[in-house]
Chains A and B, each alone.
Chain A
Amino acid sequence: MTLDLVRDIVSGALFIGSAFFFIAGSVGLIRFPDVYSRLHALTKADNLGVGLLVAGLAVRADSWVMALKLLLIWHLVLLASATACHIFAKAALVSGVEPWTRDAA
């Protein structure tokens, strides 16, 4: 009984953190000035939004296998977002997108 309550509180807090990072990521995607800073916002949503969601679901998972699957998903998302961020930034730099500076704006 008490254990269920603790589990609900912990997973609820993790879900709220996840929601915060998803909203922060998409607000950043809209408001940031150039591709490079938008990449920063996007990878926050990827890494921490999904990470906290997966942590919250893993707390509530029925079995260890399910928790490990959730952890696998998080690592795949991390891998995807790190790779994507790197190749996007490199492609943008090669194709001549100027990084935003305060003076230029």
Chain B
Amino acid sequence: MRVTLEALAVVLLIAAGMGMIRIALGPTSADRMLASMLFGTVGVALTLVLGALEDIPALVDMAIVFAILASVTAVAFVERAWGAGDR
């Protein structure tokens, strides 16, 4: 079963790498921000996978913090950097 989890970790890294392509291409800053939202999700998933692989329960708590922070980054981006003023 370790093999499946290790393969999933590699797949998650590939997904993050594909997000890098969108950051390089992305015509607007919103597209780049979408890719970094994907990084947030991949970060949560990768933390969970590594926590299961290495058997470290504390990493689950870390993933909770990542999941909370992911929503804050999106709101902060839209409010401060992009749609500033108009809602």
Contacts and interface: CB of A to CB of B under 8 A. Distances in A.
A105 interface: no
Contact of A73 (B4, B38, B64): B64
A95 B71 contact: no
Interface residues of B, number: 47
Given A26-B15, A30-B18, A80-B70, A19 B7 contact: yes
Given A18-B8, A53-B45, A81-B41, A66 B15 contact: no
B8 A87 contact: no
Interface of A: 8, 11-12, 15-16, 18-19, 22-23, 25-27, 29-30, 35, 38-39, 42, 45-46, 49-50, 53-54, 57, 60, 66, 69-70, 72-73, 76-77, 79-81, 83-84, 87-88, 90-92, 94-95, 97
